[in-house]
Amino acid sequence: MSGPMLRAEGLGYSVGGLPLLQGLDFTIGPGAPSFIIGPNGAGKSTLLRLLHRLLPPSTGQVLSAGIGRQAMLFQKPVLLRRSVAQNIAHALSLAGIQEPGRIPAALEEVGLPHLAHRPARLLSGGEQQRVALARALALRPDILFLDEPTASLDPAATRAVEAILARTAQRGVKIVMTTHDLHQARRLAGEILLLHQGRLVEQAAAGTFFSSPASAEAQAFLRGDILE
């Protein structure tokens, strides 16, 4: 099979002897977006950081194939105290990419071409999140990790970002993202991975997950019950 592939084998992460994630075994293949969902504190952000190789696993490993470049969008965007365009230029320069034309193209893609010369840190939270998305897209990654990319966006901006992500996925970019918005997961996800207390409880095609979840945890989560 060609296209981006990720595999977790016995993957775990502990802090001070306390396991935040343990015994994760799964494969994420090419195709429609993979959504990592689960309650607060389940380990979603930690898992994305492990997959993006920002954290070293405490146990097991992350294997990948068919991934040249990868990018990540954080739950809280981190922008430099420079203009929007300079923020994207800086990311391109760090990646060794000398194609300034990618800057206006990426801003166009997220619908913010008019903000190119504004100081990035003075933008609204939602605008900053979209600038961070433009910066990630400008790298033209094979796989894009997004941690709750629409959590601070209004409904219209949320739909706009979802449309961008759908287009990006259709171009063959593998999207791996977290969300607390189950409607969003239904709209975009090809498959769902449900985390609970640092473990992978269920991985299933999105249609199957929402229509006939296999695990008691998934059934409870979809009902809106508190998972203990």
Ligand X SMILES: Nc1ncnc2c1ncn2[C@@H]1O[C@H](COP(=O)(O)OP(=O)(O)OP(=O)(O)O)[C@@H](O)[C@H]1O
Exactly one of 10, 25, 27, 41 binds ligand X (CB under 6 A); which one?
41
User: How many other CB atoms are found less than 10 A from the CB of residue 178?
Assistant: 23
Stretch that binds ligand X, among 33-41, 153-161, 162-170, 216-224 (CB under 6 A): 33-41
Comparing C-alpha atoms, which of 131, 122, 173, 172 is closest to residue 153?
131
Instruction: Determine how many CB atoms are found less than 10 A away from the CB of residue 122.
Output: 10
**C-alpha distances out from residue 194 to 33, 37, 177, Å:** 14, 5, 12
**Using CB distances below 5 to 8 A depending on partner kind, what does residue 2 bind out of Mg ion, ligand X, none?**
none
Under the criterion CB under 6 A, does residue 205 sit at the interface with ligand X? no
Q: Which residue number, 43 or 141, has a Cβ lying nearer to ligand X?
A: 43
Q: Do residues 142 and 68 touch, judged by C-beta distance below 8 A?
A: yes
- Span of 44-52, 79-87, 122-130, 152-160 interacting with ligand X by CB under 6 A: 44-52
Q: Which does 170 bind (CB under 5 to 8 A by kind): Mg ion, ligand X, none?
A: none
43 belongs to the binding site for ligand X (CB under 6 A): yes
34-37 vs 174-178, strand pairing mode: parallel
* Binds ligand X by CB under 6 A, chosen from 7, 19, 30, 45: 45
Answer whether 215's CB lies under 8 Å from 201's CB.
yes
Among residues 40, 98, 170, 211, the one that binds ligand X under rule CB under 6 A: 40
Site of interaction with Mg ion (CB under 5 A): 44-45
Among ligand X, Mg ion, none, residue 41 binds (CB under 5-8 Å by kind) = ligand X
- Give the burial class of 127: count Cβ atoms within 10 A of its Cβ; 0-12 exposed, 13-18 middle, 19 or more buried: buried
Q: How far is the CB of 138 from Mg ion (least distance, A)?
A: 24
Point out which residues bind ligand X (CB under 6 A): 15, 20, 38, 40-46
